[in-house]
Amino acid sequence: MSQLPDKAPSACGWNALVDYVTLRLLRAYQGPGVQWKSDGSEQINTAAPGDIVFLKGRKFPNWTENLGILHRSPPLSSLSATQRVRLLLTIDTADACMCGAEHALTPIIEQ
């Protein structure tokens, strides 16, 4: 069962989120990169294509709301149709999909 991240709309309508993972790596190979900002801040940062972004999620040890970084996919609707292409690599820690050692499957050995 997957868990949906909590969305955190700001006063200016900037919908962003903090994922329910320990750590997430994001890298845009084509198109705009992820956008992020500190909770409570108005400054929006955008990663350039090729930048590697590490984001702490809600499961990160000692994570707290007041230190959270909100992120979102950049809006593409204002771009021309040819610019609306985006290739994004996302890598989560193994516990994000319950694939860690504590969730390992016992191999079946056929005889």
For the stretch 74-103, pLDDT in tens is 888 888 888 888 899 999 988 776 655 555
In terms of pLDDT, which residue wins out, 19 or 110?
A: 19
Give pLDDT tens digits for 24-83. Answer: 999 999 988 999 998 778 899 999 999 999 999 888 998 887 777 889 988 888 888 888
Query: 103: helix, coil or strand?
Result: helix
pLDDT of residue 110: 53
Q: What is the pTM of this model?
A: 0.70
To the nearest 10°, the Cα dihedral for 70, 74, 75, 79?
160
Give counts: helices (H), strands (E), the chain.
0, 8
